Structure 1
Amino acid sequence: MNTAQSFRLNKKSKLIKTDEFSSVFSFRKRVFTKYLVIHYQPNALTYPRLGLVVAKKIAKLSVDRNYMRRVLRECFRLQQHELNALDLIVQAQKKFTKQDFLTVKQEFAMLVEKLNRRTNEHTQKPQLNEDNAIA
Structure 2
Amino acid sequence: MTFSRDHRLLTPADYKAVFDGTTCKASAPLILLLARVNTLSQPRLGLVIAKKHVRRAVDRNRIKRIARESFRHHQDLLGNLDIVILARKGLGDLDNAQLHALYQDMWRRLARSASKRARSLNSGPPSSNA
Work out whether the TM-score is over 0.5. Answer: yes
CA contact (8 A) 1:35 1:104 kept: no
Deviations 1:19-61 (A, max 9, x none): 1101110114422123321111111111110001111122101
Equivalent of 2:119, from 93, 118, 121?
Answer: 121
Amino acid at match of 2:98: D
Show the 5 A alignment for 1:50-61. Answer: 50-61=45-56
Q: Which moved more, 1:87-96 or 1:62-71?
A: 87-96
Unaligned runs of 5+ in 2: none
- Give the superposition deviation at 1:126: 5.4
Whether the aligned pair in 1 keeps the contact of 2:42 and 2:79 (CA below 8 Å) is yes
Alignment of 1:9-48 (within 5 A): 9-29=3-23, 30-48=25-43
Deviates more, 1:104-113 or 1:15-24: 104-113
Q: How many residues align?
A: 126
What's 1:8 paired with? 2
Select between 42-51 and 22-31 the one with higher mean Cα deviation.
22-31
CA distance in structure 1 between the partners assigned to 2:22 and 2:107 by the alignment:
21
Name structure 1 gaps, 5 residues minimum: 1-6
Going from structure 1 to structure 2, the CA distance change for 1:74 and 1:115 (only over 3 Å counts) comes to: farther
Partners of 1:59 and 1:125 in 2: CA distance: 42
1:134 and 1:69, CA in 2 relative to 1: closer, same or farther beyond 3 A?
A: same
Determine the C-alpha separation between the residues in 2 that align with 1:68 and 1:43. 25
Distance 1:133 1:123, change over 3 A: closer
**Structure number with larger C-alpha Rg:** 1
- Decide which moves more: 15-24 or 96-105: 96-105
CA RMSD, Structure 1 to Structure 2 (Å): 2.4
